[in-house]
Structure 1
Amino acid sequence: MAEIGTDDARQLAGALRQVLEAAHRALGGEGRPSALVEKVTGHLGVPPAEMLAVSQSFPPWEHVNLQRGVDAYLTEPGWFGMSGHGLDHEDFLNILTNAARHGMFELGRARFGTAPTGPATSTEVVELGLVHAVSPGGEAVVIGLRTAGEFSPSCRIDVLAASGRAATETRDEIVRLMRVHDVFRGQVLSFGVSEHHGNELVTFLPRPPVRAADVILPDGVLDLIERHVVEVAEWSAELLAAGQHLKRGLLLHGPPGTGKTHTVRYLISSLAHCTVILLTGPAMRFIDEAAALARRLQPSLVVLEDVDLVATDRDLDGEDGRPLLFSLLDAMDGVGGDADVSFVLTTNRASVLEKALAERPGRVDLAVEIPRPDAAGRARLLALYGRGVDVQADPGPVVEATEGVTASYVKELVRRAVLAALRESGTTVLHDRHFAAAGAEMDHGGRQLTRVLLGADPGDSFDEDWDDED
């Protein structure tokens, strides 16, 4: 069956509505009391023509928070719904009006779905339904919830009441409770794009368990990064009292595979109670939403990975025609200095960003290079990645033969050495010959591309003269 467009669907729904109304009148249904209308008017005490509706829309990813706000507000939830054609095209007040005049809609069950509340948890949400409630001032109200759908890019709350004040007070209190019970607070979140209608999505990610001992950087570099990001969070109240700003920007730059993302994972692990928002690639167009969310849920960490790709890809320009990089920097500035928000940018090519950052000073206040590891660093990496196996090889030749490689290269080298040992003896006892075989395999002939993909200097190669005897 061929799909139809939105405009055609609206016209079809309108025509069907007219047919149903005519059929209802022909069958003598005009004036027959509607159970749906009676359910609402019996609570509010006024007919649909005298009801007032106060509404507010939210991005689709806020539906779970809207549900939490309503759940916190209700004392006795008792959701009910409606049935009939065209429900997705009408707001609740129009549905009630049409039900009263033409009998188009009937009382039915509320429509429910699920929404995530964490990396491995979810909760039930109302996708379309109504519930009786009382306003903060004691007046009867009816609360309606609607999920985002094909004809509406937003989720929405409607509050029906006999007075605008009662409806507004109820809506405002629910929005306040949304923020009190915000499910995103303290979570690791990633913005993405839905496969349906291009809507933005928020995905929950597990917080990575990375220790300081797992991060191999030159002496003093990790301490510098921690002072800039973690210590500011620890002393935020004292810094504000002293008139100092909290917002900070960190740029991690260096060749691919040197550990920039791994360092970010350590920061995420260290800031255990901090809300983290990850943006990469096309999802960076949601920087305004991410920045607003970060300010709302502070203390927060916003991670922008591979920012150089944004700076050079014209397909990622903002909606107003400006390069997305400039929109990103403006969003960083708009958070405000008093907000306990850290922005961490990573890039393989700092030169691409240098001019833009220089023209907008203050967005990034610390740039740290993550270089290829030196000999001491490579020795520590061998120990780190080999800690789950029995390494009986002499690390010296391996360290010397891997000059110019990255952390990613060393990690892959150890894995291939383990595979070589398993093939040979079925054990994970590593000898010199296993590292020699792994290095030769990674560097052999056309496999120089492997070195490039792992961030190593393509001009270097594993030492072919290394003695592979134990």
Structure 2
Amino acid sequence: MRMKETPGWTQDTYITVYDHDDASFEGVTELLRRCIGFGQDNALAWARHIDRNGSAKLGPWTQDIARTVHAEMMRLAPQYGCACLRATLEDEEIAQPAPAAARPARKAHQVLNEIFGDWPADSLVIVRRDFPAYLRVDVQLALDALTATARRVGIHSSHRYDASDMATLVSERDHAKLIGAIQYEDIDIGEGRPVRLATNALSLIDDPDAPLAVWVNTGADFAQMPQLNVEILSPPGEAAAARTGAMLEAIEAAVAKGRSYRGKVLSLEASETYRGTAANALTVHFRTPVSEDELILPDAVKRALDRHIIGFAAQRDALKALGQSGKKGVLLYGPPGTGKTHTIRYLAERLRDHTTFLVTAEQVGMIGTYFRLARLFAPSILVIEDADLIARQRDTMASACDEVMLNRLLNELDGLKSDADLFVVMTTNRPQTLEAALIQRPGRIDHAIEVPVPDADCRERLLRLYGHGLRIDADVAADLVARTEGVSAAFIKEIARRLAQQSIFAGHAGHIAADDLGDVLDEMLGERDGLNLRLLGGNTSGSASLG
């Protein structure tokens, strides 16, 4: 039931200024500018309003501030030729309309008072729920659906980075937030068209028995990690409490579904805090499809991938029904350029129902956040590239921070529940440097798969793949395969590009002659180009032949 008495916190005080024939128009204008704080144009507009209508009601302010302003106006009036000016203090809920050119902007507490003015301020209830800032899209889309019929207004502050909470919007008067346009921000979620989200919207749900106001703002937790704060203002009573609880539960359910990001390839955008690196937003990566024909690896390696990852995912439910774990750790190791990253793209394409998270070396400080996201969006694949940078042997670590990172990784792996539908896939060029506690304990790394340099059959298939637009005679292709033993897949890819460039330079674009092959291999395999050879994954031990 609504209360009929208006509580004291809503009783704003106004100053009514009356016109007088002996009062100077310029003096009234200057008094309004100096005492009320109007700009020159506003002061002129209000002075004209007083002159034409006989009076004007200004404000509101709190009672103490109104008295101070009134006293200063009366003190200065004689100095501006307005000794006969009369101004009175009045307590009233609604002021008369101001002239259009100078109408003061409405304030947040006034809009809230329109809905909650029948309840005492100290009886109102604010419930807050915090979410990680990187889940903002799903939080706000859920909130938009729940408040689709609500009235929405934009909240503006004089300070750009002022993140006000609901209590401030309700109570602040001296520096009250103003009502204005709703601002929006476009967020890319990898679906062609970005999602448009409001950044300053206050949603007002007017209901006779259980009105609500919903406010979303950004802040930080005790560790200075970015947070999204959802606050709901309501009157006392079970009906309003139930409605608030249902709304927050619906938001949490939407976050758990993760419709905006599930099944995509993601990484975290980092922001710096005094405690280190924090997750600020999710980045969606363009998925590069890799078909089975484009994954050129030895048959034994492909069988291992099918059995221990793709097949495991297909059999996961059956395994869990037999009491086995649904999580698995896999290590992909091999020389640089052999196709470990290419293999990750293939796995992401084959397991499209899994959400893939890419953890690069510079993001290992956010490994805990990545694991939480992987659990939330399960089934998922958590890829840790260059694992030797975070999990190298303890006796080779340069500082205590390195050991902290290793321990955090091991704790996260150990903390995964057995029913977690999660692959942790690590890659490394230097498996011999990995910490024994990682690779020798079951449940952390369950299977290691070598991605070797391509054999003769793979080199021939790689040449066909990367040189599909070239006309290469069979004897030339055979010569190339024979002379590139020990090189990487990346090396073969670069050979195909240089052959194409050489054919253009020689005046027969697209047709690869024996002389073209000789020129390119002499350049790429020659001792004078040893650095390029190492960068591209060539064999520097001498097995690659100059012919």
Counterpart check, 1:159 vs 2:235: no
Q: Superposition pairs for residues 58-207 of structure 1, below 5 Å?
A: 58-86=131-159, 88-99=162-173, 102=174, 104-118=176-190, 120-133=192-205, 139-147=210-218, 153-163=226-236, 165-166=241-242, 167-180=244-257, 182-194=259-271, 198-200=277-279, 201-207=281-287
Counterpart-to-counterpart distance in 1, 2:432 and 2:266: 29
- The change in CA–CA distance for 1:77 and 1:116 in structure 2 (over 3 A counts) is farther
Per-residue CA distance 1:333-368 (angstroms, 9 max, x = gap): 322111111111000011111513245432111101
Counterpart check, 1:346 vs 2:427: yes
SS in 1 for 2:199: strand
Counterpart-to-counterpart distance in 2, 1:162 and 1:131: 15
- From 282, 285, 296, give the equivalent of 2:365: 285
TM-score calculated relative to the size of structure 2: 0.74
Counterpart-to-counterpart distance in 1, 2:68 and 2:215: 32
Counterpart-to-counterpart distance in 2, 1:428 and 1:439: 17
Letter of the structure 1 residue corresponding to residue 194 of structure 2: S
TM-score calculated relative to the size of structure 1: 0.85
Decide which moves more: 404-413 or 386-395. Answer: 386-395
Q: Displacement of 1:327 after TM fit?
A: 1.5
Percent identity for Structure 1 against Structure 2: 30
Q: Displacement of 1:98 after TM fit?
A: 1.1
Counterpart check, 1:369 vs 2:441: no
Letter of the structure 2 residue corresponding to residue 226 of structure 1: D
- The change in CA–CA distance for 1:51 and 1:452 in structure 2 (over 3 A counts) is same
Per-residue CA distance 1:3-43 (angstroms, 9 max, x = gap): xxxxxxxxxxxxxxxxx989776445996756532422333
Letter of the structure 1 residue corresponding to residue 241 of structure 2: R
- The change in CA–CA distance for 1:456 and 1:196 in structure 2 (over 3 A counts) is same
Partner of 1:13: none
Letter of the structure 2 residue corresponding to residue 356 of structure 1: A
Q: Displacement of 1:273 after TM fit?
A: 1.9
Q: Displacement of 1:193 after TM fit?
A: 1.8
Per-residue CA distance 1:385-434 (angstroms, 9 max, x = gap): 11222222522211111111111111111110110001112521112222
Counterpart-to-counterpart distance in 1, 2:432 and 2:478: 35
Counterpart-to-counterpart distance in 1, 2:219 and 2:470: 51
Per-residue CA distance 1:33-64 (angstroms, 9 max, x = gap): 56532422333443443321111222221111
Q: Which has the higher contact order (CA 8 A, sep 6+)?
A: 1
- From 276, 300, 303, give the equivalent of 1:223: 303
Unaligned runs of 5+ in 1: 1-19
Counterpart-to-counterpart distance in 1, 2:428 and 2:526: 29
Decide which moves more: 181-190 or 47-56. Answer: 47-56
SS in 2 for 1:363: coil
- The change in CA–CA distance for 1:430 and 1:93 in structure 2 (over 3 A counts) is same
Q: Displacement of 1:103 after TM fit?
A: 6.4
Partner of 1:11: none
- The change in CA–CA distance for 1:93 and 1:459 in structure 2 (over 3 A counts) is same
- From 378, 394, 397, give the equivalent of 2:479: 397
Decide which moves more: 383-392 or 78-87. Answer: 78-87
- The change in CA–CA distance for 1:353 and 1:196 in structure 2 (over 3 A counts) is closer
Partner of 2:529: 447
Partner of 2:520: 438
Counterpart check, 1:296 vs 2:376: yes
Counterpart-to-counterpart distance in 2, 1:316 and 1:42: 60
Q: Displacement of 1:303 after TM fit?
A: 0.7
Letter of the structure 1 residue corresponding to residue 184 of structure 2: F
Partner of 2:130: 57
Q: Displacement of 1:221 after TM fit?
A: 1.2
Q: Superposition pairs for residues 210-289 of structure 1, below 5 Å?
A: 210-289=290-369
Instruction: Note the aligned Cα RMSD (angstroms).
Output: 3.0
Counterpart check, 1:357 vs 2:428: no
SS in 2 for 1:131: strand
Partner of 2:75: none
Counterpart-to-counterpart distance in 2, 1:122 and 1:46: 41
SS in 1 for 2:420: coil
- The change in CA–CA distance for 1:264 and 1:152 in structure 2 (over 3 A counts) is closer
Unaligned runs of 5+ in 2: 1-60, 71-88, 94-105
Counterpart check, 1:388 vs 2:448: no
- The change in CA–CA distance for 1:70 and 1:366 in structure 2 (over 3 A counts) is same
- The change in CA–CA distance for 1:280 and 1:300 in structure 2 (over 3 A counts) is same
Letter of the structure 2 residue corresponding to residue 126 of structure 1: A
SS in 2 for 1:79: strand
Counterpart check, 1:407 vs 2:492: no
**Partners of 1:452 and 1:458 within 8 A in 2:** yes
